[in-house]
Structure 1
Amino acid sequence: MFKKIVKRDGKIVDFNLDKITDAIAKAGAATEEFKHDRAAQLSEKVLKLAEETVKERTPTVEQIQDLVEKVLMDSSFKRTAKAYITYRQDRNKTRNAKSNLMGIYKTIAIADASEDSDVKRSNANVDGNSAMGKMLQFGAEGSKVFAKTVLVDPRFAAAHDNGDIHIHDLDFYATGTLTCCQTDPLKLFANGGFNTGHGHLRTPNSIASYAALAAIILQANQNEQHGGQSIPNFDYAMAPGVNKSFKKALRNNLEKYNKYSGKKVDVKIPDDIAYGDTETLKKLKIPETVIETSNEDVEKQTFQAMEGFIHNLNTMHSRAGAQVPFTSINFGTDTTPAGRLVTKNLLEATDKGLGHGETPIFPISIFKVKEGVSYNPEDPNYDLFKRSMEVSSKRLFPNFTFIDAPFNLKYYKKGDYNTEIATMGCRTRVFSSVFPESDGIVTGRGNNSFTTINLVRLGIKHGIALKERKEADWTGFYKELDDLMDLCRDQLLERYEFQANQHVRNFPFLMGEGNWFGSEKLKPNDTLREVIKHGSLSIGFIGLAEALVAMIGKHHGESEEARELGLDIITHMSKRCDEYAKKNHLNFGLIGTPAEGLSGRFTKIDRKEFGTIKGVTDRDYYTNSFHVPVYYPISAFEKIEIEAPYHALCPAGHISYIELDGDPSQNIDAFEAVIRKMHDSGIGYGSVNHPVDRDPVCGFSGIIADTRCPSCGRVEDEVPFERLRRITGYLVGSLERWNDGKKAEEHDRVKHNVSGTYTKAQKAARECAKANSAAAFGKE
């Protein structure tokens, strides 16, 4: 009989036959096939077999367990044998996950985020080197392991780990949180204020308080969700604050006038007086100097409030202090004097920048463009539209949503901000609904969760990329695509059930204060099922361009055939999501995935399995959603025309970018031409990228083409220049926070010519790209 045994950790301990007996007995009890006495007999057989077959004097635990499996399989207790094998596999899976987790923890604790670890750079909005950033990552990675081993169906976990799909925000799965919410501050202010959990905040009475509480609302919401936060009606929501401040200013200045002018003007200021209400002010016969001074006061206060709002969102922290809130604001359609003043000063504060002139990272600001409101010269907010483009040409924000896009316009009701399309900033769009009461309503709604399909892998398996076939197997492609979409549907439904069984008390601000659509009707112990049904369940995709290259040898920027095939694929996916929505009576939708942390993950997995394939897996990233590859030279207008049809097919979220060279603030006509082309082509949401650099020593902000500041002449040294770039829908000031995939993508970005013609270099690059693609797939 053996005296010792080697444990998995290498330790040598006393051999104990009773432990084998107990393990077999537990398996037998679980299946009810036998009891302890039979287990003792079986363990004796295990020992005898070990003495006959194990050559080492000291066996390992794994060797003994292998023999237990054999003895059980050779016995009549087949159910127990199967149960034991399954249990052992599950235990091995858990041990492996724990071992991998310890390795990840070691990376988080020791590696430098700027050089060594994509784990520490999965979210560019988190400083992976900070103490709280590390703490957030420790919790996130542990939570992912728990979710995959305990909460998620093994089918879904395996598909995620294999790189067939990507379950987003898996680290928040166990919390039951939703992704995002479009919060209406006016709803919170209407009933005497709100409670953030540490005290009640009364309805604000000045524009400064309105702006400050708006920032607090976004921060409080972020602490209860795993995605970003948005205000869809920022100008409408802040306008009452302007009017309240104007009324105060009128009363104060009239009091001063009466005190110091020697005159007595006995006027009662109406409670409903509004900034810019010229007709009422004339009727009241308030002295012109009082009106002018009051206007100046409220205009100054509004600018300071907007400046404070932006500063707050770039300095306040959420999630245990690990990151600033991921925030977005939509504005530009309130045509009242107060609403216009908010927009004007928000743009001015964005243009001015932060304390040292830095471009603000947050909020992601989005100007809502609408014919009859801002698009044409005769429109009341046309001047604000023009100003928004000037600011964006310098600061990269605002981005632009287009209410006139057919899929947005059908919901629009003039003067009702609830029906004006708004976005979460990164691209998430929640608008249509299978429930009539929330159909076409943006306020109070958001995305529940989303999961992304790896289109490139399907292209590799069913296309010509591996040179195993001469023609693409489209039947096999669509069959596997449908299987993966069904898998994503089932996974989203599983997660939805987990979220739906959470309680209002678990989300005291988001649900308890009535932020979410319909949640004001719930009590603390109610579950969320009846309200989160108004959110969306989104299926995403990444790498349409590489999938097309893998299938036929060209992407949709290169070939008309590829363009038609790309639209066929996404149309198919969109229709299937519509079928899921109808059958499950939930808001399923297709989203063009914002690939940040996912950008290089699929690529690494596929390259390991299929090797390096030119034009497919030879870069460190897959192309964002339906975009034309960033490295492909193409004019701005052509890119817009190619991508525009996909916006209608991705109702859960979409965005298109144009890359401009040089300083677009010096060519605002070209910038405007791009925005107008987006509007006229049916783009739903778009933005313009361009270089924004800054010398932190002298404060210069503009373009620094090389290693010397054009303002002070300083050569870049241990104090590096700040290179601000857009990562997905938001800005990042330090490229060191980007993962390797996004760094490679940013490096490859080419500029898009606005004139529609190509420079000699661009023509040569296009021809080179086509030649490389043809050579890779053996085509002439």
Structure 2
Amino acid sequence: MNRDTANKDSSLVSTAKELQCLKSVEREVLDWFPDYIVNAHQTGQLYIHDLSDRKFNAINSSLLNLKQILNNGFSINGTQYNEPTSFSTALQKTGNIIYEVSSNQYGAVAIPEIDTVLAKYVEQDYRHIQQQFKVIQDYDQNHFEYHCMKMLNEQCLCAWKQFEERLNTINNGNAQLPFVTLTFGIDTSMFAKIVASNLLQARIEGLGKQNSTPIFPKLVFIYKNEIHGEQGPNKDLFEKSIVCSTKRMMPDYLSVDSGYVCEIYEKYGKIVSPQGCRSFLGPFSFDNDIIFNGRANAGVVSINPVRCALIVSQDPTFVKGDTEKFYQLVDNSIYLAIQVHNITREHLKLQKASSNPLFFCEGGCYKKLLCDDTLESVLEGFSWSIGYIGLNECSLLLYGKELHESNQFAIEFLSHLKEQLEAYQKQFNMMFSIYGTPAESMTYSLNQKDRKQFGIVKGVTDKKYYINSFHCNIRQELDPVDKMTIEAPLFHLSKGGRITYTELPNVRNMKAIGQLCREAMKLGLYWGINIQLDECKDCGHSSEFFEHCCSECKSTNIVEITRVCGYISFRLVKGRSRMNDGKLQEIEERVDHVKATQSLKPLKNNDIVNGPGLRVSVWLNGCPHKCKGCHNQQLWDYKPSIPYNVDEIVKLMCTGIQKDLSILGGEPLAPENVNITLKICQAVKQILPDRNIWLWTGYDYEQVKDFEVMKLIDVLVDGKFIQEKKDVSLQYRGSTNQRILNPLTGEVLAKYM
């Protein structure tokens, strides 16, 4: 079974045939290149991505100009289509276009700002619905607008669900589901918001009988604070997007508040959308305009700086911090990668536009070509990516420090790479870009080649993978904001391809995810979350499974969906994985940047389990209840020597993202603890009066309602844990007898129940 690409099911005859065909032509493509380039690829100095696909002189990923195709009408296989006259037909034809274009290239198809493109068709539907109601003599005039909008949204949602169902069911001509990315969210017009809102609703509701999580399209929400912030016109759309991300891991979020995308937006009034999972284009002038849509990436070649660092560090004369020889080796690798692109261009420029007619001849491309035209005249607007991997391992080898300890090496490396590519760009008039490679199959392939030559090197080849691009060590426990801050300058240097993410437990804390997202947007990032989305195909239960079986019925007939990096995919389907051993190990070893479990320490920062939003949690020792099945039994004994520093609690609540407070145990209201609990609450409310405090107690409300601390807390969770009433679906509670209450009135807070 081929496990190079998680989105290809090689157990299917059609996919197996396609993979076998591609494998058979690899040697032919390698014959394009001099022996020293072939040797560099085979030994792991270089990684020529999509090697077999190059045989057919196809482009990689594209930013499709869907608006131009739909507006002008188009032809597929000799059949001429007119411009759509409704939203449902527009989406149906968009699906046809995606299948046709994606079948004739090997990377992703991205449709920028799809809400803006399709808004006109929703408006046409709206006018038609109005006319329908008006011909009904006894229609309800008082609720006319309500009924029109209700029908409009129902039609729009239905069309999106059919669109997603098709994209996740039928393979394209490359024997895989079409990799398509849709960006949206910044358009504030009514009909564009209807497009975006129903796209999110379709994703929230899921696919098929069991409401499964779709893999495609990849969704990217374009965020700008003045539009999506507290007073923004699209705040509601952002909040719905967070609901969707919490449940389905998508959309990812692209900031227009700072960084490169912001600079382009402020300078040209245009959004630079990603192609596929992470690739970005630089500005290009055509016909007296700066354009992004209708352009493409022509391919990726990655260098292996880890190998360069291994060669240098194993020299007996090497001294930590001496990188002169390292950069000599890196520069040679860059030179070889540039040669690969130059040779590829010589082949690609001879390709006919008829090889991908919808893109090149029907308006998808920025320059419309005739069928017999070659691609030479449009290649100047395409990017050529130089990828890299494993900067964390390089830093460890060369300086003895990982990126979370110091990101200076990575800044230096990427600045050097930028300088080199700018020089080559001037020399060859090609748009070379720095690309943080997704590293799905490459992460394992290069690691294994280096392990074979250099042996087991701690922190480098003692695992089966290299860490993705500029990312911190995935095994390192990091505060999520610290991780963003460390990676941000590296992200901004890697303009041709980058994404960063936060690893989270599957606890569905929407407020916390929203807080993290806004922080990432302030830093100008392209950011997403990773939560484990596991679904049982026998009982329908969905959660984060452990031991690769359903946590409810113990079935192994499950689907595990996780983030590869910039996109999500299948980790496990019916007991079989489509991922290689290196990527599987990397996923297994990822640690959450926000913890779901209680540590042995009395304080925990960035808790997302115990209350809404990010919180500081305090656990007090000592509990008289000793409930059967309690998961905090280590806190039953009273330990008066444990310090509870109120100043430290307040400091944590003010550091990074503003956080609220949770007090748990043990039993915070036990006689031994009630005074320290009161002291903590008094201090927090005095210094941070706007922060909310949640408190968990095994006592019933009626037993503690007159305690002084009740006047200071905002939410009380009461009652002993009863194992027979345990319900894992409950949020903030362990068993159904427990209540979430207003501590002043005893009223049940239904929104949390």
TM range (shorter): 0.7 to 0.9
Q: Which residue of 2 aligns with 1:462?
A: 312
Alignment length (residue pairs): 598
The alignment partner of 1:372 has SS state of helix
Tell me the CA shift for residue 288 of structure 1.
4.2
Relative to the length of structure 2, the TM-score reads 0.76
Tell me the CA shift for residue 643 of structure 1.
0.6
The alignment partner of 2:17 has SS state of helix
Given candidates 644, 655, 661, the residue that maps to 2:505 is: 661
The alignment partner of 1:303 has SS state of helix
Q: Which residue of 2 aligns with 1:181?
A: 62
The alignment partner of 2:265 has SS state of coil
Tell me the CA shift for residue 553 of structure 1.
2.2
- What is the identity, as a one-letter code, of the residue corresponding to 1:690? I
Q: Any unmatched runs of 5+ in structure 1?
A: 1-112, 114-119, 262-285, 764-780
Q: Decide whether the 8 Å contact of 2:185 with 2:221 is kept in 1.
A: yes
Distance in 1, matches of 2:245 and 2:130, equals 34
Distance in 2, matches of 1:725 and 1:759, equals 29
Distance in 2, matches of 1:478 and 1:613, equals 21
Q: Within 5 A, what are the aligned runs for 1:662-741?
A: 662-663=506-507, 665=508, 667-683=509-525, 685-705=526-546, 709=550, 713-717=552-556, 720-735=557-572, 736-741=577-582
Bigger Rg, structure 1 or 2: 1
Distance in 2, matches of 1:762 and 1:429, equals 41
Deviations 1:135-176 (A, max 9, x none): 011111112111112x22333222111110001111111111
Compared CA separation, residues 758 and 380, structure 1 to 2 (3 A): farther
Are positions 1:135 and 2:17 aligned together?
yes
Distance in 2, matches of 1:423 and 1:761, equals 43
Given candidates 166, 179, 187, the residue that maps to 1:326 is: 179
Q: Decide whether the 8 Å contact of 1:432 with 1:439 is kept in 2.
A: no
Tell me the CA shift for residue 762 of structure 1.
12
Deviations 1:515-555 (A, max 9, x none): 1111x1x2222111111211101101011111111212221
Q: Decide whether the 8 Å contact of 2:44 with 2:446 is kept in 1.
A: yes
Distance in 2, matches of 1:349 and 1:754, equals 30
Are positions 1:443 and 2:293 aligned together?
yes
Are positions 1:293 and 2:147 aligned together?
yes
Q: Which residue of 2 aligns with 1:227?
A: 107
Q: Decide whether the 8 Å contact of 2:436 with 2:470 is kept in 1.
A: yes
The alignment partner of 1:324 has SS state of coil
Distance in 1, matches of 2:550 and 2:219, equals 29
Q: Which residue of 2 aligns with 1:148?
A: 30
Q: Which residue of 1 aligns with 2:81?
A: 201
Q: Decide whether the 8 Å contact of 1:328 with 1:425 is kept in 2.
A: yes
Tell me the CA shift for residue 478 of structure 1.
1.0
Distance in 2, matches of 1:759 and 1:507, equals 59
Compared CA separation, residues 580 and 219, structure 1 to 2 (3 A): same
Distance in 1, matches of 2:80 and 2:268, equals 31
Given candidates 380, 385, 409, the residue that maps to 2:262 is: 409
Given candidates 546, 566, 572, the residue that maps to 2:416 is: 572
Distance in 1, matches of 2:203 and 2:288, equals 33
Q: Decide whether the 8 Å contact of 2:506 with 2:533 is kept in 1.
A: no
Tell me the CA shift for residue 693 of structure 1.
1.4
Q: Which residue of 2 aligns with 1:753?
A: 594
Tell me the CA shift for residue 413 of structure 1.
5.5
- What is the identity, as a one-letter code, of the residue corresponding to 1:509? L
Distance in 2, matches of 1:741 and 1:620, equals 5
The alignment partner of 1:599 has SS state of helix
The alignment partner of 2:528 has SS state of strand
Tell me the CA shift for residue 729 of structure 1.
1.8
Q: Which residue of 1 aligns with 2:223?
A: 369
Compared CA separation, residues 415 and 335, structure 1 to 2 (3 A): farther
Q: Decide whether the 8 Å contact of 1:603 with 1:621 is kept in 2.
A: yes
Tell me the CA shift for residue 341 of structure 1.
0.6
Deviations 1:310-364 (A, max 9, x none): 11211122125x2110111000011111000111111111000001210011110
Given candidates 273, 278, 292, the residue that maps to 1:427 is: 278
Distance in 2, matches of 1:336 and 1:725, equals 34
Q: Decide whether the 8 Å contact of 1:545 with 1:556 is kept in 2.
A: yes
Distance in 1, matches of 2:53 and 2:203, equals 32
Compared CA separation, residues 314 and 438, structure 1 to 2 (3 A): farther
Tell me the CA shift for residue 438 of structure 1.
8.6
Distance in 2, matches of 1:529 and 1:762, equals 62
Distance in 2, matches of 1:539 and 1:759, equals 45
- What is the identity, as a one-letter code, of the residue corresponding to 1:686? W
Distance in 1, matches of 2:571 and 2:491, equals 30
Q: Decide whether the 8 Å contact of 2:538 with 2:555 is kept in 1.
A: no
Q: Any unmatched runs of 5+ in structure 2?
A: 605-753
Given candidates 624, 641, 645, the residue that maps to 2:489 is: 645
Compared CA separation, residues 298 and 535, structure 1 to 2 (3 A): same
- What is the identity, as a one-letter code, of the residue corresponding to 2:191? A
Distance in 2, matches of 1:550 and 1:325, equals 39
Tell me the CA shift for residue 436 of structure 1.
5.7
The alignment partner of 2:254 has SS state of strand
Q: Which residue of 2 aligns with 1:552?
A: 399
Distance in 2, matches of 1:198 and 1:439, equals 32
Q: Decide whether the 8 Å contact of 2:268 with 2:290 is kept in 1.
A: no
Give % identity.
28
Compared CA separation, residues 411 and 754, structure 1 to 2 (3 A): farther
Q: Decide whether the 8 Å contact of 2:222 with 2:253 is kept in 1.
A: yes
Q: Within 5 A, what are the aligned runs for 1:210-609?
A: 210-255=90-135, 257-258=136-137, 260=138, 287-319=141-173, 322-355=175-208, 356-374=210-228, 376-412=229-265, 419-433=270-284, 435=285, 441-463=291-313, 469-518=318-367, 520=368, 522-557=369-404, 559-560=405-406, 563-609=407-453
Q: Decide whether the 8 Å contact of 2:392 with 2:470 is kept in 1.
A: yes
Indicate the structure with greater strand content: 2
Deviations 1:647-693 (A, max 9, x none): 22111110001101241x2x22221221122112232x111101211
The alignment partner of 1:733 has SS state of strand
Q: Decide whether the 8 Å contact of 2:61 with 2:276 is kept in 1.
A: no
Tell me the CA shift for residue 754 of structure 1.
7.6
Q: Decide whether the 8 Å contact of 2:549 with 2:558 is kept in 1.
A: no
Compared CA separation, residues 403 and 440, structure 1 to 2 (3 A): farther
Are positions 1:161 and 2:42 aligned together?
yes
Tell me the CA shift for residue 198 of structure 1.
4.3
The alignment partner of 1:633 has SS state of coil
Q: Decide whether the 8 Å contact of 1:357 with 1:701 is kept in 2.
A: no
Distance in 1, matches of 2:441 and 2:278, equals 16
Indicate the structure with greater helix content: 1
Distance in 2, matches of 1:369 and 1:414, equals 17
Distance in 2, matches of 1:731 and 1:252, equals 42
Tell me the CA shift for residue 644 of structure 1.
0.6
Moved more, 403-412 or 129-138: 403-412
Tell me the CA shift for residue 292 of structure 1.
3.0
Q: Decide whether the 8 Å contact of 2:253 with 2:528 is kept in 1.
A: yes
Distance in 1, matches of 2:296 and 2:414, equals 23
